[in-house]
Amino acid sequence: MGNVKVRDYDNVRKEGMYNVEADVPNITYDHIGKRGVRRIDGYAKASGKAVYTRDVQIPGMLYAKVMRSPYAHARILKMDTSKAEALPGVRVVLRYDDSEIKGRTLNGSVGGPDRMAPQFSGFALKPESVILAEEAWFEGQAVGAVVAADTEEIAKEALRLIYVEWEELPFILDQEEALKPDAYVLLPGAESNKLPDDRELFEAGDVEKGFQEADKVFEFKARRDAHLWAGAEMPSALARWTEDRLELWNHSQHPYPGKLLLSEQLDIPMNQITVYSPYQGCSFGERCNPADFSINGMNVLTVLTAKKAGRPVKLLFDRAEKFYGESGDMMVSYFKVGVKNDGTITAVDMRNIFAVFQCTPGAEHLVDNTRIPNLRCEAITADVSKAPAWWDRCEQLPNVFCLTMIFDHVAAELGMDPTEVALKNDGCEGHGMEFLTEYKKKNGYPVRDSLKECIEAGKKAVDWDNRWHAPGEKKLPNGKMHGIGFTWDHEWDDTRGTASAAVWMENDGTASIVAQHADVGVNPWTTYCQVVADELGIPVEDVTIKPFDGDHIFSLMSPDGSCNLCSNAFVVRKAARKARRMVLDLALDHFEGLEMEDLDLKDRFVFEKANPENRKPLKDITVLAMPMHNAVGIYTEPPIVGWSWQQQGIWGEAMETGRPRLCRQSHFLEVEVDTETGAVEVTKVVNVNDVGKAISPETVEGQMYGGTFMGVGRALTEEMVWDPQTGVLLNRNLLDYKCATILDCPEADTIIVETEMGHGPYGTVGVGEDIATMIPALLGPAVYNAIGIWVDDFPITPDKVLKALGKL
Amino acid sequence: MKQYLCPYCSTKFDAFEDLKAHALAEHTGEPAPLPEGMIRLTLNGEEYQIQVQPEWTLNYLIHDKLGLTSPKMFCDRGACGSCTVIMDGRPILSCMTLAIECDGNVVETAEGIADAGHPLVETYVKHHCMQCGYCTPGFITTAKALLDKNPDPKEEEIREALGGNLCRCGTYPQHPKAILEAADILRESEGGE
């Protein structure tokens, strides 16, 4: 031992841990942006060994099922559970009027001034958002009782044995019906079915002045019916109490906020709760959020039932139960648009009438991405007898729908090429391109015209100049009508949300990202490891992530915060840079006379920048930084752990955060329409996305083609059908709700543009929610180009096409 | 009157002693008959003898009772292919098959395919055939059954074979690439032997 000096990170201490800007490494992209990086989750998923919530079983666990309302609107008058309670194998029957659950409401808020607000659980401002209801507001609502039994079959049988006397009440399915003055009012005591929402009216400029300046003013109506996520894994939750400690395994994107919600609802100290987040079978934002009405209710019921049973309880949804809840874009829209003959849009006035819930009012993308100076958007929400709607890959659906409808109708009215109309109006908050150019120059971004690049690449790929034609004029040899459509946007705000993580370097020089994170399939873990590997100058094989443990203090963002990589890469990069500085500090002992700034890390070596031959293996340095050691004869250093936290901007308010959107995207879609049957076939989709910088190109492409098939489904075949006589959802299964199979998929081109103008780290922009949100409305202009008539009623099913053609 | 049933051949006897004499005379040396509800199954190359209930599905047996997580419940009713296992060479829906009817059958799951080092698993990883990964084992089993039967499939035949497998993330374009590459690897390794 003798004269050995313990460094204890002298420099890092002097500077303070947070001074990562002191030496921003000049890294090379050895893994970032490279193809062929092996997916961390690949083997576990392909081999079936990945464990999802549905797969988790623990000794002694019971199975629970919830009663569902068979009526669209009904009240329980009398409920007899005695037969269910007497059934062998039934361990707990929890009734809506039991003291444990009575009056408990949903918790839909994880922060801000509206804490504990049930309306944010998707119940769209309905006051009656109780967890286990006495009165059902839609068919399929959790009502009456939850049963826990030795098997799922016994639990289901017990529910069948519960006798309920119902009082059936009137219901309404259509939002415009609901708003009629003489409509039955669904909420007792309310004046009408109009739900209050502070986003009701948006105005910028003066629309009347804009219409006066226009050469042409026209109006039209469009409609979007309900669809839903239909994710792969059916939700479930598993709760285990050990004395006062609670463990919860659940189908959730947000395990940590889920813990906060539970703690608030059931008064359990947060340090007594561990929430695990196993693999997640599809997410798409809906029904995987602990604040969503069905997941929040499921978690509470599971925890209470487990407490009452004194045994672990797993509550299971079946496929039908997963169908209650729509995407938040059930809307009827009335548009009035003013436009000059050269394609310049002078004013837009729109009125969007939503059913149940408005994800977004509809005008934001015209604000964020165009120079249209005069805008007015009225967004009304009507209560109807349907399950709460929610964000569903993604809440920008109404904004995208309105932008596509307006731009393509303008092009059609003027007989203009829609790509020219897009370029004519590209901008930001009423400002033109000169404003964006100025911003780019001032803020060190490359000055590139993203929309122009995206349009040019897409036009080439789809052979636009030869394929686009006057509407209704191209009959194919097979007798069908050919059509092609175009749209554009910047679908998602670049980056937002809060996340935290640590990067820990172990004694052998390998690194771990320590943070809980719910995987939703976008290959996030590999991309974080790519970032950390390049920041630390080590091979990506030397980096891993520990995402499952529920007792870390660190937690990374998952989608439905909507910014996975764009937020999380900031966090892991910063943590890696802190760890890097600790390594360099320790390394000074091996490089006499040099300062930290003279050193760098590469290929598992620390070396002198001016003389790369002078180097030491990374392992010789990290081996000293020990979390524990039992010998007294050697000296040790504190572990190498850098942690970081980062908060990003506010979505939908680009200018308020001082971050105008700089990247754009273009989409082209080709169809063949059979005018005899009304059937529409999508034959080709070309997506061009300026993603700023693709950290993992294969992953970006995966989101682009994957989103295409979901988008085509939403446009064409995915439809929720309610029985007008009973208000019952008729097609709550995957045979009658039609998602695309491999045989239904059109050719999907994926073109990546990388301008590095995104506000995420390395210039990134998100892409995961993008294409599925853009494609549905794009079918409209493609079908118009084929038959020369607007259908404007989505999904565009054959009956609607025939009706438009006057054949039905 | 109480009767005794021969467990080997179901002959009835009035007295237990008569049954005993019959069994010794007629059935000495025969393997013991299985009790009702007991099935023999070869699962991923290993022999199982398991007592099942008549209403258990093969999925429930493999997934819930034996703890193999690969056959996934996605659609709940035979519409998605995620619970596919290979039984006697054919891809079948384990959620639509009763376990009690599988006596004497040979069953393979994705775990078995991976443990045997089949090249499909690695080509699936390479081509990003998974996103959330929930449906992936069902694709792997369907693809393995196809390659067993048809070592040189055309892309159209692959699409046809996978037509019953739903993937909500939309990984579809990648599967034919991975399956064709695995087929190449298999043919090369066989050619080399």
pLDDT band at B76 (very low <50, low <70, confident <90, very high): confident
Residue A749: inside a domain: yes
Note the pLDDT tens digit of each residue in B165-174: 999 999 999 9
Taking residues B82-96, what's their average pLDDT? Answer: 98
Of B73, B164, B165, which has the smallest distance from its Cβ to A234's Cβ? B73
| DSSP element (H, E) containing A526 | helix A524-536
Backbone angles phi and psi of B161, in degrees to 5: -65, -35
Mean pLDDT of chain A: 92
Taking residues B59-66, what's their average pLDDT? Answer: 97
Q: In chain A, count of helices (H) and strands (E)?
A: 20, 28
Tell me if A342 sits within 8 A of A411, measured CB to CB. no
pLDDT at B32: 83
pLDDT band at A10 (very low <50, low <70, confident <90, very high): confident
Please report, for residues A457, A599, A616, the alpha-carbon distance to residue A605 in angstroms, rounded to integers and kept in the order given.
42, 10, 6
pLDDT at A189: 84
Residue A770: inside a domain: yes
| Amino acid identity at A6 | V
Count structural domains, chain A.
3
| DSSP element (H, E) containing A355 | strand A345-355
d(CA A260, CA A269): 9
Q: How far is A522 from chain B (nearest CA, A)?
A: 6
Over 80: is that where the pLDDT of A651 sits?
no
Three-point CA angle A144, A145, A149, nearest 5°:
160
Q: What percent of chain A lies above the pLDDT cut of 90?
A: 77
Q: Which residue has the higher pLDDT, A25 or A175?
A: A175
A680-690 vs A747-753, strand pairing mode: parallel
Residue A311's domain comprises 53-169+233-281+287-323
pLDDT at A755: 97
Inspect the interface and report whether the beta carbons of B111 and A46 lie closer than 8 Å.
no
Over 80: is that where the pLDDT of A513 sits?
yes
pLDDT at B117: 97
The domain that holds A604 is classified in CATH as 3.30.365.10
d(CA A374, CA A206): 5
Q: The dihedral of CA A284, A288, A289, A292: what is its sign?
A: positive
For residues A159 and A299, membership in a common domain is answered with: yes
Q: Is B12 on the interface with A (CB under 8 A)?
A: no
Taking residues A541-569, what's their average pLDDT? Answer: 85
Over 50: is that where the pLDDT of A1 sits?
no
Q: Is A733 on the interface with B (CB under 8 A)?
A: yes
Taking residues A341-351, what's their average pLDDT? Answer: 98
Tell me if A50 sits within 8 A of A44, measured CB to CB. yes
Q: How far is A703 from chain B (nearest CA, A)?
A: 8
Residue A183: inside a domain: no
For residues A361 and A468, membership in a common domain is answered with: yes
- Least confidently predicted of A251-265, A784-798, B159-173: A251-265
Taking residues A611-618, what's their average pLDDT? Answer: 97
- Write the DSSP string, A54-96: GG---TT-EEEEEEE-SSSSEEEEEEE-HHHHHSTTEEEEEET
3-state SS track over A365-378: HHHHHECCCEEEEE
Chain centroid offset of residue A347 CA:
31
Inspect the interface and report whether the beta carbons of B109 and A48 lie closer than 8 Å.
yes
d(CA B69, CA B71): 6
Taking residues A518-528, what's their average pLDDT? Answer: 93
For residues A634 and A659, membership in a common domain is answered with: no
Residue A309: inside a domain: yes
* Residue whose C-alpha is closest to residue A711's, from A322, A227, A225: A227
In A546-690, which residue ranges form alpha helices assigned H by DSSP? 565-587, 618-622
Backbone angles phi and psi of B136, in degrees to 5: -60, -45
Query: Where is the domain boundary, A323, A346, A373?
Result: A323
Taking residues A373-383, what's their average pLDDT? Answer: 95
Taking residues A195-200, what's their average pLDDT? Answer: 82
Question: How big, in percent rounded to 5, are the helix, strand and coil portions of chain A?
Answer: 30, 25, 45
Taking residues B147-174, what's their average pLDDT? Answer: 97
pLDDT at A112: 47
| DSSP element (H, E) containing A347 | strand A345-355
For residues A97 and A245, membership in a common domain is answered with: yes
For residues A241 and A113, membership in a common domain is answered with: yes
Inspect the interface and report whether the beta carbons of B168 and A49 lie closer than 8 Å.
no
Mutate to test the interface with A, among B65, B68, B69 (most CBs of A within 10 A): B69
Residue A316, helix vs strand vs coil: strand
Structure tokens of B75?
């659609």
Q: Which of residues 171-190 of B touch A (CB under 8 A)?
A: 171-175
3-state SS track over A248-292: EEECCCCHHHHHHHHHHHHCCCHHHEEEECCECCCCCCCCCCCCC
Residue A196: inside a domain: no
ipTM at complex level:
0.94
Note the pLDDT tens digit of each residue in A412-439: 999 999 999 999 999 999 999 999 999 9
For residues A611 and A667, membership in a common domain is answered with: no
Note the pLDDT tens digit of each residue in A210-260: 999 999 999 999 999 999 989 999 999 999 999 999 999 988 888 888 898
d(CA A38, CA A48): 17
Q: Is A41 on the interface with B (CB under 8 A)?
A: yes
Inspect the interface and report whether the beta carbons of A39 and B131 lie closer than 8 Å.
no
Note the pLDDT tens digit of each residue in A101-122: 998 888 876 544 455 555 555 5
Of A284, A318, A706, which has the smallest distance from its Cβ to B76's Cβ? A318
Residue A175: inside a domain: no
Mutate to test the interface with B, among A45, A55, A322 (most CBs of B within 10 A): A45
Which chain A residues have a beta carbon less than 8 Å from that of B140? 46-48
Residue A178: inside a domain: no
Over 90: is that where the pLDDT of A571 sits?
yes
Q: Which residue has the higher pLDDT, A198 or A62?
A: A62
CB pairs under 8 A between A and B: 181
Q: Which of residues 55-94 of B touch A (CB under 8 A)?
A: 55, 63-64, 67-77, 79-80, 82
Inspect the interface and report whether the beta carbons of B76 and A233 lie closer than 8 Å.
no
pLDDT at A2: 41
Over 70: is that where the pLDDT of A462 sits?
yes
Q: Is A519 on the interface with B (CB under 8 A)?
A: yes
Domains of chain B are 1-33 (3.30.160), 38-192 (3.10.20.30)
Residue A211, helix vs strand vs coil: helix
Taking residues A610-626, what's their average pLDDT? Answer: 95
pLDDT at A120: 58
For chain B, how many residues are written? 193
For residues A275 and A357, membership in a common domain is answered with: no
pLDDT at A118: 58
Structure tokens of A504?
């820990």
For residues A413 and A485, membership in a common domain is answered with: yes
For residues A339 and A469, membership in a common domain is answered with: yes
Of A698, A702, A734, which has the smallest distance from its Cβ to B75's Cβ? A734
Tell me if A776 sits within 8 A of A485, measured CB to CB. no
Taking residues A559-576, what's their average pLDDT? Answer: 84
For residues A489 and A507, membership in a common domain is answered with: no
For residues A503 and A490, membership in a common domain is answered with: no
pLDDT at A119: 55
Could you say which DSSP state residue B100 is in? G
Which chain A residues have a beta carbon less than 8 Å from that of B124? 42, 46
Residue A179: inside a domain: no
Closest-CA residue of chain B to A522: B131
Over 80: is that where the pLDDT of A562 sits?
no
Over 70: is that where the pLDDT of A4 sits?
no
d(CA A439, CA B126): 41
Closest-CA residue of chain A to B116: A47
Mean pLDDT of chain B: 95
Over 60: is that where the pLDDT of A381 sits?
yes
Structure tokens of A674?
């059979």
For residues A245 and A112, membership in a common domain is answered with: yes
Inspect the interface and report whether the beta carbons of B162 and A742 lie closer than 8 Å.
yes
Which chain A residues have a beta carbon less than 8 Å from that of B70? 47-49
